[in-house]
Chain A
Amino acid sequence: MEGTRPFLRNAFIWTAVVALPITFLGCTRKKTADAVPVGVVLPITGREAKPGQYQREGIELAIKQINQNGGILVKDRGKKLPVREIFYDDSSDQAKSASLAERAMSSDEVVAVLGAYSTALGEAESVMPDRYQVPWITTGAAATTIFNHGYQYVFGTLSPTTLLGSSTAEYLGSLVDQGKLNKGLKLALALENTDHGVDYGNGIKQWSQQHPGYFNIVFSENFDLGSPDFSGLLQKVKSSKADIFLADAHLQDYITMHRQYLQSGMHHQMISYGARGPESDARKAMGDGVDYIFAGIWWSRNLPYPQVKKFNQDYKEFTGHDPDSWYPATAYDAMRALQAAIESAGSLNRTKVRDALRTVELKDSLLPGQVLKFGPNGQINTPFVIVQNKPGGKVDIVYPKDAATGESIAPIPKK
């Protein structure tokens, strides 16, 4: 009896060691078979927490609606399968973002990974999709560097930042054509030291070169993200005697820089912070100091499309708050584009889904132009809308004309 006890104990331990993983493996496979596993990697803590949270809400609203309709029709399974979200918070950390995307692709057997808010986090994740041959749709990274490597599994629902720059310049050009601004005005550019900032500046420079006589760029400089003080940079902007001030900044830098801009007593005929401007946090931080700032954004809740109005309602019901800026819309459409691709592929095979994503057309897209289609490099090319903050907290779409909800106020009146 003395000898049987250790044997029994060992047998029990070995049984547990072998049986438990098999049991869990079985569970995982069962879950995978009965659902469409989709990885979502976004920052909901850290520096990019807020936009990341909004993007998560957009994806989860889409998943909820898809599942309410029975799920995604997968022909080779002969039935609709619900979407199972596998969510990871990357804490706004590049290394974590890349490793979590890798984990989702390699361990979780996902059909695709969505997410990656901000260019920096998107760049970190973008090396993984081709390595693991899993489709990846970034919902919040737009820098062209991500899409110019010839990756085959990389997609994005944000138009390129160069287009943001050129759309900004085109809008200002339209104000010149309308006689609201004079020709030959001087531009000062302050760009964040990222690929996003570089692309934005390139877009403005390209448009200005293609349309000579409209603007002269008299100042262009990069700045560090999260800088506590912009007084020196703003002094240089002031010394350039520019007529229009265009910056490209993340939300916190936009707030810090514009506060110091207002405190310095500077005034320009037009002012923009790239894709930032209409955020409610900025108005809370600066009150009517944000009036007349214009921004080029990927989406506005004021777009006059019926699907946008329905999305606004659904989103508010789902989250308890209105969409703040463009963040949830590109994420919502990314999930719907993935649904369309899986249904078109009729399979959960990742390569087939990738092939389907290349040809998918979302014809009731929320984005400007209402059609979402990925280009040859995986990035969409929908136009930007230009919005302008108006007194009283109003935000109007002012460009393009067919989507406008109000007139541009240009030049900005002196207070």
Chain B
Amino acid sequence: MTLIDFTNLLVSALLLAGIYAVMSVGMTVIYGVMKIVNLAHAGFMMLGAYFALELFQRFRIDPIIAALLAFPVLFFLGAAVHWVLLRRLPRSDEPTLPSLLLMFGLWLVLQNLGYLIWGNTDRSIFTPRTLSVVSTVRLAVFIAAVGCLLLLEVILHYTWFGRSVRALIQNRYAALLTGVYEDRTAGIAFGLGIGFAGLAGGLLGSLYSFDPDFGRPFLIRAFVIIVLGGLESISGVAIGALVLALVETFSILFVPAGYQLAISFGLLALALIVLPGGLASLLAKVRRVA
């Protein structure tokens, strides 16, 4: 392999990591605050993709801008779902069966709504940039993804809401004692997670064709990433996404492409056995030692 080929692959892996990160971060925020494994994530990603498509087709809005607009819309949808459904679930420090079933059911409902509204035709967003050799769409998707992740970091570190989220992630009872209003924070956090799912779906819609079943392969990868990242760590998600993208992209050079998913799951198993706290815990240990 030439240096140019290697660089091409590295760039592909980095761009893929950005996409992976933005689709996983929403799940992490929701899990961190509410201990809910959001199985409906793929359904909200699908809504984000169709939202971007509708804005593009009806109003000729650039699909990247449309994806960014999906964020606030899906944020409010997520907050509404929390208010109507999730706040009625029993509180727990561990994921519970009712929450898993509820989210799985919600995914099926969203999927079927998708079929009802948009039918089962494969849709895609095609612009003059779509097939350009210098993949401006991938680059734009990457920039949008990284920009949103940075914005989330700023929110989490410099706002009252962000501090509440981090407090709930670290220790729910201590957070409650210090005056964190759990219901409101959880509602906003869930909205934020769904907003990110919508954004990810909108961005992915520029890269892939989609139907109401969209998001399933991404959901599996999101699980791998958040476990790799340490379940509750935003920076861990970014690192997990990078590791998965690098491993998936470069492992193909040494093993057949048909084993790509097996490699991802191998990585998941390895993380669960060797690094149950994820890469974030490893980094924390390194920092402490240093």
**Please, which residues of chain A bring their CB within 8 A of the CB of B217?**
226-228
B257 touches A284 (CB 8 A): no
Proximity bits, A41-53, B CB within 8 Å = 1, else 0 = 0001111011001
Nearest chain A CB to B219's CB is how many angstroms away? 11
Nearest chain B CB to A415's CB is how many angstroms away? 10
From A236, A251, A287, contact of B122 by CB (8 A): A251
B121 touches A255 (CB 8 A): no
B121 touches A224 (CB 8 A): no
**Please, which residues of chain A bring their CB within 8 A of the CB of B208?**
228, 252, 255-256, 259
**What is the bound-complex CA distance between A224 and B261, given in angstroms?**
7
A286 touches B218 (CB 8 A): no
**What is the bound-complex CA distance between A231 and B124, given in angstroms?**
19
Q: A223-B257, A255-B209 are in contact. Are A287 and B9 (CB under 8 A)?
A: no
From B19, B123, B126, B252, contact of A236 by CB (8 A): B252
What total of chain B residues lie within 8 Å of the partner, measured CB to CB? 43
**What is the bound-complex CA distance between A50 and B122, given in angstroms?**
8
Interface range, A side:
35 or more
A228 touches B209 (CB 8 A): no
Q: A50-B122, A235-B8, A255-B122 are in contact. Are A221 and B133 (CB under 8 A)?
A: no
Which residue on B lies nearest to A44, using beta carbons? Answer: B120
Nearest chain A CB to B270's CB is how many angstroms away? 19
A265 at the binding interface (Cβ < 8 Å): yes
A25 at the binding interface (Cβ < 8 Å): no
Proximity bits, B130-155, A CB within 8 Å = 1, else 0 = 11110100100000000000000000
A167 at the binding interface (Cβ < 8 Å): no
Proximity bits, B244-282, A CB within 8 Å = 1, else 0 = 000011111100111011000000000000000000000
Proximity bits, B202-237, A CB within 8 Å = 1, else 0 = 000001110111001110010000000000000000
**Please, which residues of chain A bring their CB within 8 A of the CB of B5?**
235, 238-239
B133 touches A263 (CB 8 A): yes
**Please, which residues of chain A bring their CB within 8 A of the CB of B218?**
228
**What is the bound-complex CA distance between A46 and B221, given in angstroms?**
19
**What is the bound-complex CA distance between A46 and B42, given in angstroms?**
13
Which residue on A lies nearest to B218, using beta carbons? Answer: A228
**Please, which residues of chain A bring their CB within 8 A of the CB of B138?**
263
A221 touches B131 (CB 8 A): no
Nearest chain A CB to B156's CB is how many angstroms away? 27
From B1, B122, B130, B252, contact of A281 by CB (8 A): B122
**What is the bound-complex CA distance between A226 and B219, given in angstroms?**
12
**What is the bound-complex CA distance between A312 and B161, given in angstroms?**
61
Proximity bits, A241-274, B CB within 8 Å = 1, else 0 = 0000000000110011001001111000000000
A229 at the binding interface (Cβ < 8 Å): yes
Chain B stretch 21-74: residues in CB contact (< 8 A) with chain A: none
Q: A252-B209, A262-B131 are in contact. Are A281 and B248 (CB under 8 A)?
A: no
**Please, which residues of chain A bring their CB within 8 A of the CB of B181?**
none
B185 at the binding interface (Cβ < 8 Å): no
A233 at the binding interface (Cβ < 8 Å): yes
B169 at the binding interface (Cβ < 8 Å): no
Q: A235-B9, A239-B5, A263-B132 are in contact. Are A229 and B120 (CB under 8 A)?
A: no
B16 at the binding interface (Cβ < 8 Å): yes
Q: A53-B120, A232-B253, A235-B253 are in contact. Are A285 and B209 (CB under 8 A)?
A: yes
A226 touches B216 (CB 8 A): yes
From A92, A223, A224, A287, contact of B131 by CB (8 A): A287
A284 touches B258 (CB 8 A): no
Chain B stretch 147-203: residues in CB contact (< 8 A) with chain A: none
Nearest chain A CB to B182's CB is how many angstroms away? 35
Nearest chain A CB to B129's CB is how many angstroms away? 10
Nearest chain A CB to B19's CB is how many angstroms away? 8
Given contacts A50-B120, A226-B216, 13 further A-B contacts (CB under 8 A): A45-B112, A50-B211, A221-B257, A231-B8, A232-B249, A232-B250, A235-B8, A236-B253, A238-B5, A251-B122, A259-B131, A281-B124, A284-B124
**Please, which residues of chain B bring their CB within 8 A of the CB of A228?**
16, 19, 208, 217-218, 221
Name 5 interchain pairs, CB-CB below 8 A, sorted by A: A45-B213, A49-B211, A232-B250, A235-B252, A264-B8
Residues on B facing A (Cβ under 8 Å): 1, 5, 8-9, 12, 16, 19, 111-112, 115, 120-124, 126, 130-133, 135, 138, 207-209, 211-213, 216-218, 221, 248-253, 256-258, 260-261
**Please, which residues of chain A bring their CB within 8 A of the CB of B261?**
224, 227
B258 touches A221 (CB 8 A): yes
Nearest chain B CB to A96's CB is how many angstroms away? 13
Residues on A facing B (Cβ under 8 Å): 44-47, 49-50, 53, 92, 190, 193, 221-224, 226-233, 235-236, 238-239, 251-252, 255-256, 259, 262-265, 281, 284-287, 289
From A221, A226, A263, A285, contact of B124 by CB (8 A): A285
Which residue on A lies nearest to B259, using beta carbons? Answer: A224
**What is the bound-complex CA distance between A284 and B209, given in angstroms?**
10
**What is the bound-complex CA distance between A286 and B217, given in angstroms?**
22
B122 touches A286 (CB 8 A): no
**What is the bound-complex CA distance between A259 and B137, given in angstroms?**
11
A229 touches B122 (CB 8 A): no
Which residue on B lies nearest to A193, using beta carbons? Answer: B258
A259 touches B257 (CB 8 A): no
**Please, which residues of chain A bring their CB within 8 A of the CB of B126?**
284-287
**Please, which residues of chain B bring their CB within 8 A of the CB of A193?**
258
From A45, A47, A224, A252, contact of B260 by CB (8 A): A224
B121 touches A229 (CB 8 A): no
**What is the bound-complex CA distance between A231 and B6, given in angstroms?**
11
Nearest chain A CB to B262's CB is how many angstroms away? 9
B121 touches A232 (CB 8 A): no
**What is the bound-complex CA distance between A139 and B287, given in angstroms?**
61
**What is the bound-complex CA distance between A236 and B8, given in angstroms?**
12
**What is the bound-complex CA distance between A252 and B122, given in angstroms?**
8
Nearest chain A CB to B16's CB is how many angstroms away? 5
A232 touches B135 (CB 8 A): no
**Please, which residues of chain B bring their CB within 8 A of the CB of A256?**
207-209
**Please, which residues of chain B bring their CB within 8 A of the CB of A235?**
1, 5, 8-9, 252-253
**What is the bound-complex CA distance between A233 and B248, given in angstroms?**
10
B120 touches A227 (CB 8 A): no
Which residue on A lies nearest to B217, using beta carbons? Answer: A226
B121 touches A50 (CB 8 A): yes
